[in-house]
């Protein structure tokens, strides 16, 4: 079932032979290349030059970009894999005619395995640069004689597709894929999903998000989960659904969490996201750097493939081991009870062990300084006041209240109330009256920290709820559930008002069959256009109303205004094509 959906969605995404990047972004091209397992060269003409991407059996195996190019040495230096001394010595070897990567290995700065991993990440960054392109043309040439240097590079097609879908240009592709999944009541990770997790090279935040998907959920609820930015949530959900890892829950399936087998943990596979967030400590020339457990896309091109049987297998998964075979679980004694929270924590640990790393096994971290409550003895109290006045400027708002950075709102409130009881200037005895002015400064700093944290936490909660309501409204709008969409957008507008949300809300109310005053929404949309003529949603909806009224000229102007504000507005582009077709076949529309 998942394979049929993938084929149908992928086939409609782009024409691989040639096309325009404004209509077929790189995300669609990568999906189509993996679907039909092509080998050849993608020729992209954009930004005044020519870039190339090479594919072997559907897997990207190298990229040459005309813009934003960084040499391998500079890339590794920015990621903290080598230091400036290693870069300088490798450049001397390059001047003598050697490859920079081979020179770094010969000089002892990298191992062979690290070089292969670094090359894959380097070319993956080239693909991300190409995925940002909004204009340009492309052509694909089938060829078997690829450059010899591509034999050394293995890029994970799954990770490349995920990164491309997370770009602004890939967002329409992700939404189109997710639209196909809206018809399923619930989705969850398929049994044995952890066998394919390594192909996506999840970082820690993505892995935590994926672990939540082992429980059956509606797609709208999945898109509203916290932990990642909204574009990354859409991209990750679309990639998992496209590859068949996120599968519909069939009737009769038990609505329980997918069991994850016990495996031996190994070192995490480095990804560009995790590398950029790690420390940039340089590697000494004689230091022994840890070997990596696997490289991106380390499987051979022939080891992956769609199943030959109808409806079996998924796009890009290994052909060995049936995904429907039962997975082993930890044996339990009879009558053993497992609390829900403990069970979830254990299953997330196992999921991360299967992926190849664990966020629960972190190294020792140096705690940031925190304020401690004063002692009761007057002499020690006076010493504490002097030390606190010197320490306060260096403390964060959490540190001023003696809290860790991940403290909950309730912990913040309790800490402030306790500090107010102990440190209020009016609560000190008369013998410490000379410290009253200093205590006022300390108490004012604590009050300011509490207000900052309370406001920030309230704002963060509001933003999360706003994102959730917006996602629910857009999902309902895509399903033509006008009343539900209107309610979600109106609730989001109570938190933060934007012209885009207001336009969505008015459009949903206008199309609601129970609406008795559609003309009111028409007038409000037109007034909204005059107030915000650069909002693509407002321009598109007013253009659609003009088309319904038969005013093709006004509709065309509004659709073009929507494209000027958002060049990736697919619906506006389609409306313009329909207007052009109508002119060619039926002549100008009557007003």
SS (H, E, C) 501-549: HHHHHHHHHHHCCCCCCHHHHHHHHHHHHHHCCCCHHHHHHHHHHHHHC
Q: Residue 324: what pLDDT?
A: 40
Same domain, 520 and 470: no
Instruction: Report the SS3 class of residue 413.
Output: helix
Q: What pLDDT, on the 0 to 100 scale, is given for residue 137?
A: 92
Above 70 in pLDDT, residue 458? no
Instruction: Write down the pTM of the prediction.
Output: 0.46
Residues 80 and 194 both lie in one domain? yes
**Domain-ending residue, one of 204, 219, 242:** 242
Q: Hey, how many other C-beta atoms are within 10 angstroms of the C-beta on 493?
A: 18
pLDDT level of residue 251 (50, 70, 90 thresholds): low
Taking residues 106-125, report their average pLDDT: 88
Mean pLDDT of 212-238: 88
User: Can you give the pLDDT at residue 308?
Assistant: 35
From residue 270, give the alpha-carbon distance in Å to each of 233, 291, 296, 382.
Answer: 20, 11, 8, 51
- Tell me whether residue 287 is in a domain: no
Classified as helix, coil or strand, 248 is: strand
Residue 314 has pLDDT above 50, yes or no: no
| Predicted pLDDT of residue 138 | 93
Specify if 299 maps to a domain: no
Mark which of 464, 493, 522 sits at the end of a domain.
Answer: 493
- Residues 484 and 510 grouped into a single domain: no
**pLDDT: which is higher, 404 or 57:** 57
Residue with tokens 């060619």: 584
Looking at the structure, tell me whether residues 42 and 141 fall in a common domain.
Answer: yes
Question: Higher model confidence: residue 19 or residue 297?
Answer: 19
DSSP letter for each residue of 554-586? HHHHHHHHHHHH-TT-HHHHHHHHHHHHHHHHH
pLDDT of residue 353: 54
Residues 61 and 183 in one domain: yes
Number of domains in the chain: 3
pLDDT for 348 equals: 60
Instruction: Give the separation between CA 299 and CA 220, rounded to whole angstroms.
Output: 34
Do 395 and 538 lie in one domain? The reply is no
The reply to whether 441 falls in a domain is yes
Domain-embedded: residue 172: yes
For residue range 470-513, what is the model confidence (pLDDT) as tens digits? 888 888 888 888 999 999 999 888 888 888 989 999 999 999 88
Domain end (from 189, 216, 242): 242
Residue 78 in tokens: 């920015």
Question: Do residues 538 and 561 both lie within one domain?
Answer: yes
User: How are the residues of the chain apportioned to helix, strand and coil, as percentages rounded to the nearest 5?
Assistant: 55, 5, 40
Residue 340 lies in a domain: no
pLDDT at 277: 41
Local confidence band at 550 (pLDDT 50, 70, 90 cut-offs): confident
Same domain, 106 and 31: yes
Helix, coil or strand: residue 151 = helix
Tokens (6 digits) for 283:
């590697």
Give 333's pLDDT tier (boundaries 50, 70, 90): very low
Residues 406 and 471 in one domain: yes
**Same-domain check for residues 480 and 502:** no
Q: What is the pLDDT of residue 339?
A: 54
Mean pLDDT of 299-320: 36
Beta bridge partners of 18: 139
Residue 420 or 495, more confident: 495
The residue segments making up the domain with residue 576 are 497-586
CA separation for the pair 581, 313 (Å, rounded): 40
Residue 459 and residue 522 share a domain: no
Whether 222 is covered by a domain: the verdict is yes
**How distant, in Å, are the alpha carbons of 13, 32, 238, 332, 425 from that of 180?**
13, 17, 10, 39, 63
Per residue in 130-174, pLDDT (tens digit) is: 999 888 999 999 999 999 888 888 888 999 999 999 999 999 999
Token pair 């191992």: residue: 111
- Residues 137 and 49: their CA atoms lie apart, in Å, by 11
Domain identity same for 415 and 392 = yes
Selected residue with higher pLDDT from 335 and 575 = 575
């Amino acid at each position: 079932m998942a394979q049929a959906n993938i084929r149908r969605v992928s086939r409609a995404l782009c024409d691989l032979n040639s096309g325009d990047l404004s209509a077929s972004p790189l995300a669609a091209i990568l999906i189509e290349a993996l679907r039909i397992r092509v080998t050849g060269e993608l020729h992209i003409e954009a930004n005044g030059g020519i870039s190339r991407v090479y594919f072997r059996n559907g897997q990207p195996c190298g990229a040459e970009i005309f813009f934003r190019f960084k040499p391998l040495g500079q890339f590794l230096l920015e990621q903290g894999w080598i230091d400036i001394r290693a870069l300088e010595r490798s450049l001397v070897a390059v001047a003598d005619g050697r490859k920079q990567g081979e020179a770094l290995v010969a000089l002892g700065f990298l191992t062979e395995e690290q070089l292969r991993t670094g090359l894959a990440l380097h070319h993956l960054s080239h693909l991300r640069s190409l995925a940002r392109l909004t204009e340009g043309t492309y052509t694909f040439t089938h060829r078997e004689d690829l450059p010899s240097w591509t034999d050394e590079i293995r890029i994970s097609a799954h990770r490349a597709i995920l990164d491309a879908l997370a770009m602004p240009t890939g967002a329409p592709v992700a939404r189109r894929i997710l639209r196909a999944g809206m018809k399923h009541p619930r989705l969850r990770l398929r049994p044995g999903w952890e066998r394919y997790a390594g192909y996506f090279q999840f970082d820690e935040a993505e892995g935590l998000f994926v672990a939540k998907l082992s429980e059956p959920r509606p797609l709208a609820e999945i898109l509203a989960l916290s932990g990642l930015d909204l574009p990354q949530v859409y991209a990750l959900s679309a990639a998992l659904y496209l590859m068949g890892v996120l599968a519909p829950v069939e009737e009769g399936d038990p609505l329980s969490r997918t069991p994850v087998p016990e495996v031996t943990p190994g070192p995490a596979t480095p990804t560009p996201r995790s590398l950029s967030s790690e420390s940039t400590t340089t590697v000494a020339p004689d230091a022994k750097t840890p070997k990596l457990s696997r490289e991106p896309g380390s499987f051979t091109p022939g080891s992956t493939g769609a199943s030959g049987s109808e409806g079996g297998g998924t796009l890009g998964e290994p052909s060995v081991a049936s995904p429907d075979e039962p997975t082993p679980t930890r044996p339990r004694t009879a009558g053993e009870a497992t609390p829900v929270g403990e069970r979830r924590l254990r299953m997330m640990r196992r999921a991360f062990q299967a992926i190849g790393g664990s966020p629960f096994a972190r190294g020792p971290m140096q705690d940031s300084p925190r304020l401690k409550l004063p002692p009761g003895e007057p002499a020690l109290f006076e010493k504490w006041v002097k030390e606190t006045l010197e320490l306060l400027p260096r403390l964060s708002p959490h540190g001023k209240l003696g809290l860790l950075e991940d403290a909950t709102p309730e912990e913040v409130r309790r800490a402030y109330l306790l500090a107010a009881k102990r440190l209020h200037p009016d609560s000190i005895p008369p013998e410490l009256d000379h410290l009253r002015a200093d205590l006022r400064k300390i108490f004012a700093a604590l009050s300011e920290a509490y207000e900052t944290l309370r406001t920030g936490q309230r704002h963060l909660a509001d933003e999360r709820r706003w994102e959730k309501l917006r996602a629910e409204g857009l999902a309902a709008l895509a399903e033509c559930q006008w009343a539900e969409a209107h309610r979600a957008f109106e609730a989001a507008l109570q938190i933060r008002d934007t012209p885009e949300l207001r336009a969505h809300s008015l459009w949903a109310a206008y199309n609601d069959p129970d609406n008795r005053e559609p003309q009111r929404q028409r007038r409000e949309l037109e007034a909204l256009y005059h107030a915000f003529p650069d909002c693509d949603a407002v321009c598109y909806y007013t253009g659609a109303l003009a088309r319904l009224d038969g005013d093709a000229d006004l509709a065309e102007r509004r659709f073009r205004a929507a494209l000027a504000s958002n060049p990736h507005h697919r619906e506006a582009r389609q409306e313009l094509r329909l207007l052009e077709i109508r002119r060619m076949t039926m002549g100008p529309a009557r007003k």
